[in-house]
Amino acid sequence: MGKIKLNVLGISYSQTQSGAYALVLSEEEGTRRIPIIVGGFEAQAIAIELEGLQPPRPLTHDLFKNFSDAYAIHIVEVNIHKLEEGVFFANVLFDNGDKQITLDARTSDAIALALRFKCPIYTTEEIIEKAGIILDFDKESSDEEFQKDEELDPGEELLRVSKEKSSESILNQSLEELKKMLAEAIGNEDYEKASQIRDEIKRREK
């Protein structure tokens, strides 16, 4: 069965599971999406790479990347190969120049590494059919909404792909103050807040 390439579309806060996030992957050549529930730490590891933030100290996935670079090991691809009772299973294909080896990994970790190594992410048609959702372009709402397939279950709220609105305190700051706040948030390793500030800076600089 052929592989389907996926892109990381974004992360949204779960309205149904406290402290959980919905990581949304999109089919590169199609309209289907896969939502995957991840914890706060995993969401942070993915979000800071998506936002291009530079933590003052390397996170676990950054350390792994530095270690791999030091020993000339790179990731060829990440494969999400199984979905069982709502849990996605992934593996990572490594190459050291002499041989390739495949290791199992949590899907969230595999994706965090894929972003750092800039390698492709794949899944199967079977998983897309089972867990995929289709973007509904017929809705009059200006917000992005997704239509749930029969077997999808984390809930409608998890399927809305939109970044959280900046807090009132962020909106009231000047651009210069926001840049100072961004540096402070990164220094304090508060990457969720740093991501919100970075979003607001990008909106203003457009």
- Please state the rounded mean pLDDT for residues 77-94: 93
Mean pLDDT taken over the chain: 80
Asked whether 21 and 5 are in contact (CB, 8 A), the reply is no
Angle, CA of 165, 196 and 36, to the nearest 5°: 80
pLDDT at 177: 86
**Taking the CA atoms of the chain, what radius of gyration do you get in angstroms?**
18
**pLDDT per residue as tens digits for the range 128-144:** 998 888 755 444 333 44
List domains and CATH numbers for the chain: 3-162 (3.10.690.10), 164-206 (no CATH)
Which H or E element spans position 94? strand 87-95
**pLDDT per residue as tens digits for the range 152-167:** 333 333 334 333 333 5
Helices marked H in the chain — which ranges? Answer: 40-51, 60-70, 107-117, 125-131, 168-171, 175-187, 191-205
123 forms bridges with which residues in the sheet?
4, 80
Which residues are within 8 A (CB) of 176 and not within 5 positions of it... i.e. 6 or more apart?
A: none
For the cut 60, the answer to whether the pLDDT of residue 59 exceeds it is: yes
Taking the CA of residue 85 as centre, how many other CA atoms within 13 Å lie in the half-sphere pointing to its CB? 0
